Amino acid sequence: MKREKSENPANARRFVSAQQVAKRAGVSRSAVSRAFTPGASIAPETREKVMRAALELGYHVNDLARGLLANRSRLVGLVVTKPEVGFRAHLVSALTRALVLRGSVPLVINTGSMEQELHAAQAALFGYRAEATIILSGSPPASFVDLARRNGQPLIMIGRAETDCDHVRIDNSGAARMAARILVERGHRHLALAGVAAATPSLAERERAFTQEARALGMTVAAGHARDATYAGGQAAADALFARDGSRHERPDAVFCVNDLMAIGLIDRARGRFGLRIPEDVAVIGFDDIPEAAWDAYRLTTFRQDPEKMAEAAVAHLERRLADPDAPPELLRLEAALVERETTRSR
């Protein structure tokens, strides 16, 4: 049986080309290009023919090719380690949505934790000539940032500490100090901190500010440090804080956790292994206000980071930097609002 070639693009193995659109519309290839170029000179009836043909064929402009010709890409790199974990997942989601609405193409680069993974991430990001790079807290190392600088890429940092870059930061210090004051004002005298040994800049800032404020109020702070700021890390911190030898009164009666995942892990372990009531025996404050913090099983008092506002601030930095590459670096600091629920005593 003889097979006939189909002109239906749904059966084609390649993307519809501008030449196919030109043939369908009965115009030149250059007319198709002008029809899809804002501000280009083209007769209205010709443009209408092109657009009708493009719609029928399912044609879309090859933005990657255009970017290569103009030596400019619409790609924006999002550099992050473990983008699926905790608040970071919600921030990456908000950033990708904001960039798509801007007309950019987000390129999420998971740097991994091994040197080989980091080199692969670098090759992907710089090989595609991204228009700009947004780097999230804790990842990647400073060497990656320096390489991006030397490649001439605009850099927007979220929760980082490097100089000479545009920054979006949460007021970690102000929120952590408020946490210490709240716990002391409500009668707690045995304060503790659940953190991580190798903290990111944001987590380290929260730990430092909480401890300093508590000591300024005349309190000592017990520290339970885990390897990672995760649910399992919260459980490990609970083991370190609550399984101490000696009288029960030496156990903490209030814990500030550097993020909500650790707070949730700590609460589950405090209840399940140590039989502690929250907040009657131990008050708990977290940080981030991830959706799980509002679950009935936790009702966690925490400080809210708004991923939508952070993404909006990052895109504002991007627009400003592309419009004026020589403008001085700018810092946008956002408030972390207190969200009171049921893991702390009433006022």
pLDDT tens per residue, range 168-203: 999 999 999 999 999 999 999 999 999 998 878 899
* Per-residue pLDDT at 243: 85
* Per-residue pLDDT at 114: 61
DSSP notation for 28-86 = -HHHHHHHTSTT----HHHHHHHHHHHHHHT----HHHHHHHTT---EEEEEESSTTSH
* Per-residue pLDDT at 275: 95
pLDDT per residue as tens digits for the range 202-234: 999 999 999 999 999 999 999 999 999 999 999
**What phi and psi, each to the nearest 5 degrees, are found at residue 299?**
50, 55
Burial bucket for residue 235 (CB in 10 Å: 0-12, 13-18, 19+): buried
Radius of gyration for the chain, computed over Cα atoms and rounded to the nearest angstrom: 26
pLDDT per residue as tens digits for the range 126-180: 666 778 888 886 666 677 777 777 777 788 999 887 778 899 999 999 999 999 9
pLDDT per residue as tens digits for the range 228-258: 999 999 999 999 999 865 444 578 999 999 9
Reported pTM = 0.78
User: Residue 126 belongs to what H/E stretch?
Assistant: helix 115-127
CA distances from 78 to 92, 111, 195, 224 (A): 8, 10, 26, 32
* Per-residue pLDDT at 32: 82
- pLDDT of 319 higher than 60: yes
